[in-house]
Structure 1
Amino acid sequence: MNWISEVVRPKIKTLFKRETPDNLWIKCPDTGQVVFHKDVEANQWVIPGSNHHMRLSATQRLALMFDDGQWTDIALPEVTADPLKFRDQKRYVDRLKEYRAKTGQVDAFKVGSGAVEGVPMTVAVQDFGFMGGSLGMAAGEAFIKGAETALENRTPYVLFAGSGGARMQEGILSLMQMPRTTVAIRRLRDAKLPYLVVLTNPTTGGVTASYAMLGDVHLAEPGALIGFAGARVIEQTIREKLPDGFQRSEYLKDHGMVDMVVHRHDLKSTIARLSRLFTKAPVAEELAA
């Protein structure tokens, strides 16, 4: 009996065992619905049943935005890695190494140049996967470099914001990126170039208090968390219960903080249309005629 249970049965199980990848299924954070990974990917990382918009990496976002998924990466300035020699549970430089290995990026920003439905455009993406998309010196320099590229090429500048706020490991140097990025936006405005912001989940803290809310038009993905302080902090401060859906994109649209809530499937066409409107560029039909 032992021979059958300990030798024969394991061999039979091994014979018919099938290897299944760990990411074959995705569980919806809203409803708990389990969906086939490839179905979600084919739907631009939106859960088909619940319409939950999953977070995207910077590379995924740029691939969805640009025509044929083709763009030119903009080289970003290098900055001092650890200006304050910061340490908490681990050294800041070690955290940076960890996230750089994990994401394949130098920091939280990626900037690309290319065409969106035929419209030349400069697009910057803040990647929440890199230290919560936090704003430090590297991110500030990247945002400014994107604005300078838009000025040089005379294109609209589009930002996909997604961040937990300023990077605490860089202290006051992080906070100084708020006025610096504001000056870059002012230069775009003086040059009469459109600056469009797409607020993704989440966009909070010092990023919301600066360049994320200074666009000519503010778009937001459905269900995105957008705010400065957290809901619990606000409730403790004002000693009142906040309304349902507070700080979500739909609530902010109803109260005038966001211009449009746009499904991910429609973002590309909406941004291209707005860019043509601001730059007075001809539409495809006019070019064909």
Structure 2
Amino acid sequence: MSSPKQVIVIGAGIIGASIAWHLTKAGAQVTVVSESGAGGVATPNSFAWVNASWGNPEIYFQLRIRAMSEWTRLAKDVPGLPFAWCGGLCFDLPPDRLEAYAAEHSSWGYGIERVDAKRAGEIEPNLVAPPDFAVYVAEEGVELPLDTPPGLIVHSRPHRKLLNGLVHAERLHMRQTAEGRIIAGSDFAGGDPGEDPEAAARQLFAVTKAALRGADELELDFHTVGYRPTPVDGFPVISRADGVGGLYIAVMHSGITLAPAVGLFAAREILEGERDVLLTPYGLERFAR
């Protein structure tokens, strides 16, 4: 009987954790090495939006939509994983670009609903100014407990429920956690904090309060500035490194969305040499061309 493969995973963010979990489940002996401890650095400071939206070519959309289905599988495999398909209401683009996005992603099978101000108000009744035109994707989700370009995110103290799901307004993206914290950024990755992050955080939080009914008692608790590792072309690197035996690289900006699929695919490739076709465009070798 052969002994289990020994694998060292460097990094304990959501991608490293997913790869380590899938490797262990497949029978490998795994050691995780991380200076930052469980959770990593970028993951706890992220907006934690699981989606296949915005600016994705179809080939990347297909990987992201597969990852969304793997979140459903992972939620069943890990009892108590705090995850919710809460839906996303988006109106942070001009109407013509929003319609073009909706038409394109609808043609790819993404469940997009075009909504008017009345329907937007039904989805998120505490918005002060529901948009005249927005798109709603019911199947987008968030990893609820989450309290490299820099990204400023503000976190309120726990508050009664104000938001049902994700809201993406112009220069203001918001969601509410299970414990009642409103988390907001000028976009889902967080905006540039500038030279005075504390002042920028206070300003962003004021905009957040002004956008919500019943938020008079909402208080700022803290802000975070995350630094997210992003390959230069904006797409993931998920592959072996040619010429460096035993080295496998998985680095990307969309870690929250992609984690369960990348963990599954990477574990299979590391242990069995089986590379999923969805990973074909994301090899490290593309930068050597």
Q: Which has the higher contact order (CA 8 A, sep 6+)?
A: 2
* Bigger proportion of residues as strand: 2
TM range, smaller chain: under 0.3
Which has more radius of gyration? 1
Larger relative helix fraction = 1
If the length of structure 2 is used for normalisation, what is the TM-score? 0.26
